[in-house]
Amino acid sequence: MENIQRRSPIRFDKEPVQTEYRDGWQVALSYGAGSGPLLIDLSHRPKWDLQDSDLSRFRPFGLCIPENPGQCIFEKGILINRMNRTQCAIWQLVGENPGPLEERAYTEITDGLTLLALSGKGTLELMERVTTLDLGSPSLTPPCLIQGPILRIPCQVVLLRRAGHEATVLFSFPRGYGQAMAEALLDSGKDLGLTPGGEAELEF
């Protein structure tokens, strides 16, 4: 198991300046300073899907699941997104892999999903170009989940942080669309200074 090589669906043209090998993944920690927003590949981060008729009985990693669809919590480096009455997504964004979730209701989906982040100044402007989702709406209180398309691809979209002209937005979608999505985003944000970023450059 230690020799398994796990590969992200994303390949950036730019080489990272700092990397780390972790759980079979070669993780880009930093690409160096950029002048605009960063596109960060977090596909290596552990992810789970939880489905059950009564989500209130679960405490993934000791955390409470939000009661209402669209609500999120971010604690201990773990983001829990309430999707609907019977389903939530769990993304571990910070720290070491917390280990497996053993009950049948959990499905480990790390390798099946692309997880990207846009972070920094210009993020919301870029999102306006690629989605009809209104992430700048004053009615949204981060962290929160909106489900809808980015570049016509259905996504789970989490507004993690919003402060003035800066924001951090996370979005997941099926792995097969990863490279096409990354290239389209980089092209759409070229004039904003969008460049690849590393895990250590993500702003919370």
User: 187 burial class (0-12, 13-18, 19+ CB within 10 angstroms)?
Assistant: exposed
Q: Is residue 29 in a domain?
A: yes
Residue 152 has pLDDT above 70, yes or no: yes
Query: Among the three residues 88, 108, 128, which one is the final residue of a domain in this structure?
Result: 108
Q: What single DSSP character describes residue 22?
A: E
Which strand (E) or helix (H) includes residue 187? helix 178-188
Whether residues 162 and 81 fall in one domain: no
Name the pLDDT band for 2 (thresholds 50, 70, 90): low
Whether residues 76 and 168 fall in one domain: no
Whether residues 122 and 193 fall in one domain: yes
Give the alpha-carbon dihedral of 190, 194, 196, 202, to 10 degrees: -170
Average pLDDT over residues 165-187: 97
How many helices and strands in the chain, by DSSP H and E? 2, 13
For residues 81 and 95, give the distance between their C-alpha atoms in angstroms, rounded to a whole number: 18
Q: What single DSSP character describes residue 64?
A: P
Average pLDDT over residues 91-106: 92
Rounded percentage of the chain residues whose pLDDT exceeds 90: 90
Antiparallel, parallel or unpaired: β 166-174 and 113-121: antiparallel
Q: pTM to 2 decimals?
A: 0.95
CB 30 within 8 A of CB 63: no
* Domain of residue 177, residue span: 18-44+114-201
**pLDDT tens column, 48-62:** 999 999 999 999 999
Q: Which two tokens stand for residue 23?
A: 């759980």
The single residue listed with the structure tokens 């989906």 is 109
For residues 116 and 39, give the distance between their C-alpha atoms in angstroms, rounded to a whole number: 7
Average pLDDT over residues 138-165: 96
Query: Among the three residues 108, 123, 152, which one is the final residue of a domain in this structure?
Result: 108
CATH of the domain at 186: 3.30.1360.120
Whether residues 118 and 191 fall in one domain: yes
Rounded percentage of the chain residues whose pLDDT exceeds 70: 99
* C-alpha 170 chain-centroid distance: 4
Average pLDDT over residues 75-81: 97
Distances from the Cα of 190 to the Cα of 16, 92, 99, 155, 183, angstroms: 19, 29, 38, 22, 10
Output the pLDDT for position 1. Answer: 45
How many domains, in total, are found in the chain? 2
Q: Is residue 12 in a domain?
A: no
**pLDDT tens column, 8-21:** 999 999 999 999 99
Apex 44 CA angle, 93 and 36, nearest 5? 70
Range in 72-81, 95-104, 180-189 with the lowest mean pLDDT = 95-104
**pLDDT tens column, 26-40:** 999 999 877 789 999
Output the pLDDT for position 4. Answer: 80
Residue 170 has pLDDT above 90, yes or no: yes
Whether residues 122 and 92 fall in one domain: no
